[in-house]
Structure formats: structure tokens, C-alpha cells
Structure 1
Amino acid sequence: MSKVIVITGAGGGLGRALARRFGGEGETVVLLGRTLTKVEAVAAEIGDSALAIGCDVASPDSVRAAFAQIAECFPAIDVLINNAAVYEPFLMEEATDDQILSSIGTNLTGAMLCARSAIPMMGAGAHIINVSSESVDLPFPHMIVYQATKAGLERFSMGLYRELDPRGVRVSFVRAGQMMDEDKRWDIDPGVAARFLAASAAAGLNPRERATSHVSSVTQVFRSLIDLPADLHAASVSLFGRAAS
């Protein structure tokens, strides 16, 4: 039987790859994204099994409206994948208000808001999967706000699992490594990017030299999590890119 899978940040990258995979495998996918035209394009590519909804996950009102629209179309949600994230390097002393608030609002608060709205529509066997980052345990420079939001997301996942396990809802987080797709672009100031790359190289973490996985490969882990037998649970999964042999 087809599952209803809600994916945030579905307009590109991993979110788009997940939507393509699950939609192509016969699941019903709901694509949430801040830019409606992007998620509409992905939904049009997938076909009738996809629904696109504009949603800024950092906005409580936007999240409430999006999940109200979902409820009008589907009686229940089987899977929520909190994938939306802001990834921008900056030094703390130079950070703007928007850089701090946008990172926290999208990466951490957004996952909480979406979970809060999804839980009343979830029953036994449902699953919430939060997308974290390998940077939680790595000394990447210029990324402390991003790392803090992802560490908080992991702690939120563990606590939420204990809260929801009695009703049969699983909660996992996937600590994802460096990944790419054909359209990947880093839309930041070249000077900021150069400083980040130089500082990362000095810390022994040069992104240009580290192994990178393809987003389509990463989707396999989410498929496996969703398909776990009822008597198994994976609280966390850690992924790292590796050089293909």
C-alpha cells in the first residue's frame, strides 16, 4: 500500500532526490519548499503521485497552513522527512541577525514545527526522519551555528523518539556526509567561500579533497529506514562519502 511521505526542502538536492525516488517507487510524496515554483517543477516531473506546497518551515503560520492543506488531501501521514536546511559559513563575530536566525529557524525550529503539525496525523508504524550532518563531530571552521543546529536536531530526535515510541511512531536521524548532484551550486559570495575553503584545508578538512557521495545513493538509507520491520528501530545512521572503486 502506498505511503504518504512528506519531504521538506524538496526543491533540490537530497530532498528532490528523495521525492524522485519515492514517487518513482509508487509512494505518494508531498513536497514542501520555500520557493513554490521549485517544488512544483519537481512534482510535475514525478506526476500524479506528487503534491507541491509552498512552505517556509521557519514560519509557524506557514507550517500550519501547509499541514492543513495536507490534511485536506490525505487522512494520515506515514513519513515526515525534515530535510530543509540553511548551510552558510560565517564567523560568529561577523554574523548578521538574519544569518543566525535563518539557520536556527530553518535547521532546528523548522523540524520542530513540522513534527508538531505532523504528529496528530501519524499512527502506529509512522516514521519521522531528521537530516543531520557529519559536521556535528568534525571541526569545520566558520560553521558553528550550522553545527549547533544539527547537534540540537539530533538531541531533539532522541527525545522525540522516547515521547512517541509508546504510540508506535519511530524517530530517527541520519547524519549525512558530503554529497552532490548534477545541479549543485553554492550560491554564496566567492570571497566567503574562499575563506571557508582555506580555513577548512588548514583544519585538515578540505571539501575539495574529501570523498563525496551522490544524493541518489544517499536515498537508499532512507528507503531502508522506512522499510524496517516493526520489531526493529534505528535511532541514528551515519553516512560518509567514499571514493567509488
Structure 2
Amino acid sequence: MGKTIVITGGGDGLGRALARRFARDGETVVLLGRTLSKVQAVADELGAPALAIECDVADPASVRSAFAEVARHHAKIDVLINNAGVYWPFTLAEATDELVQSIVGINLAGPVYCAREALPLLRDGGMVVNVTSESSVLKTPMLWLYASTKHAVELMSEMWARELEAEGVRVTVVRAGQMFDETKTGAPWPIEVSMRFGAAAAQVGINLREKGTSHYNSVTDAFRAILDMPADMHLNLVSINGRRP
């Protein structure tokens, strides 16, 4: 019998690639995203039984509403993939209230809200997969807040795994490197920010141009393997990086 998989940030990027992969494998996917039109477009592409639900993971009321809707369609889910995330390079002096609240809200509070609301549906055999980033260990300049949220999610995941073991819920971290697909045409920030970011990274020995990059579709193989682990196996941390060109 197929799995029911909830994916946050399901409207594009890795979330969309995962939804396509799992739907192709015969699983039921539920796509959560801030912009309903984006996740709905993916659900329409996949067809029934794919489901799209509007959800701002940084807003606890929105998350509660979204998982109430999930529960109306599915009495139990097998997997929650906390994939939604945002990042933007900036210095401490440039840390606006909006940037801080957005990054902390989506990247750190979001997985907490979603896992909390999903827990009643996950008990007795479910799995939480938290997507983090190689930035959590690289310490790339100007990504200090993004990296800190991802590092915190990794620590949080380890402690959740211990806490939830008795309830039959496994927790795995996927620490991912740079990824792309054909729709990713560049960074979402201004070119001058990219130039300062690249220069700051180079100063500490990180050459962003030489870093390996993997295709989103390739990364989905790792998630497939994690979800197919036997019930008596638990993966704490899976680190995946693209190969250098």
C-alpha cells in the first residue's frame, strides 16, 4: 500500500521534484505552500489523489488550519518532509526585522509548528524528514542566520528522534548541498549582493563557483532510499552534496 507524504514548500524546487517523484512511484502527496496557486499547479499536474493546501509554515494558525485539512482527507500520514526554507545573504548591520523574522519563522519555527500538528497523524510508524543545508557546517559569510537556523533544526531533530521513539516516529535530517533545476535561473537577490557574497566567501577560502551542484531530480533518490528503510532501521543524518563539474 502506498505512503501518504506531506511536503512543505511543495510549489517549486526540491519540494516539487519530490512530489513528482513520489507521485510517479505511486505515493499520495499533499503539497503545502504559502502561494496556493503554485502548489495547486503541481497538484493539477500530478492529478488525483495529489492535494494542494495553502500554508504559511511561519504562522501557527495557518499550520493548524492546514493540518486540520490534511486530517479531513487522511486519518494517517506516513511522512512529513519539512522542506520549506528561505535564505538571503546579509551582514549583521543589514539584518532588517523582516529578514530576521522571515528566516527564523520559516526555517526554524516552521518545522516545529508542522511537526507538532502532524504528530497525531504520524504516530505508530510515521517519519519526519527535516531538510537542512551544508551551510550549517560550512559557516559561509553572510549566511550566518540561515546557517544557524539549519544547525538548530539538526540539533532539534536529534532530540526529537529520542523523544518520539516510544511513539513509533522516526526523525531523519537530510543535509543538502547546492541544487538546481532548469527553472532556477539565478539568485533571488540583486547582483551586487551576489558579488559581495561571493567575495566574502572567497576571503575565508570558500569558492562558490567551484562547489558541486546536483539536480533536484537526483536528490530525490536519497529521499526515496530514506523512506524505504526497514522499520528496524533509523537514519539520523544523511549528508548529500553535488559533485564538482
Q: Normalising to structure 1: TM-score of the pair?
A: 0.97
TM-superposed deviation, 1:204: 2.2
Distance in 2 separating the partners of 1:233 and 1:138: 25
- Pick which of 145-154 and 191-200 moved more: 191-200
1:115 equivalent in structure 2: 115
- Structure 1 residues 20-169: aligned runs within 5 Å: 20-169=20-169
1:26 is paired with a residue whose SS is coil
CA RMSD of aligned residues (A): 1.0
1:156-208 deviation line (CA, Å, top 9, x unaligned): 10111111101211001011011111111421122111111121222222222
1:197 equivalent in structure 2: 198
How many pairs were matched up?
244
1:238 has 2:235 as partner: no
1:232 is paired with a residue whose SS is coil
Distance in 2 separating the partners of 1:180 and 1:207: 14
CA contact (8 A) 2:80 2:115 kept: yes
- Pick which of 201-210 and 118-127 moved more: 201-210
CA contact (8 A) 1:139 1:203 kept: no
- Structure 1 residues 183-194: aligned runs within 5 Å: 183-184=183-184, 185-194=186-195
1:177 equivalent in structure 2: 177
1:208 is paired with a residue whose SS is helix
TM-superposed deviation, 1:219: 0.8
1:55-92 deviation line (CA, Å, top 9, x unaligned): 10000010000001001111111100000001111001
Distance in 2 separating the partners of 1:141 and 1:186: 16
Distance in 2 separating the partners of 1:3 and 1:56: 24
- The code of the aligned residue for 2:42 comes to V
Distance in 2 separating the partners of 1:106 and 1:231: 32
Identity of aligned residues (%): 55
1:23-68 deviation line (CA, Å, top 9, x unaligned): 1111000000111111111111111121011110000010000001
1:75 is paired with a residue whose SS is coil
- The code of the aligned residue for 1:124 comes to D
TM-superposed deviation, 1:110: 0.2
Q: Normalising to structure 2: TM-score of the pair?
A: 0.97
TM-superposed deviation, 1:209: 1.7
CA contact (8 A) 2:210 2:244 kept: no
1:104-154 deviation line (CA, Å, top 9, x unaligned): 000010000000000011122210000011111113110000011001100
Q: Which runs of 5+ in 1 are unaligned?
A: none
Distance in 2 separating the partners of 1:208 and 1:11: 27
2:6 equivalent in structure 1: 6
- The code of the aligned residue for 2:133 comes to S
- Structure 1 residues 196-215: aligned runs within 5 Å: 196-215=197-216
Q: Which runs of 5+ in 2 are unaligned?
A: none
CA contact (8 A) 2:8 2:82 kept: yes
1:84 is paired with a residue whose SS is coil
1:221 equivalent in structure 2: 222
2:5 is paired with a residue whose SS is strand
Q: Runs ≥4 in structure 1, deviation > 6 angstroms?
A: none
- The code of the aligned residue for 2:168 comes to G
2:209 is paired with a residue whose SS is coil
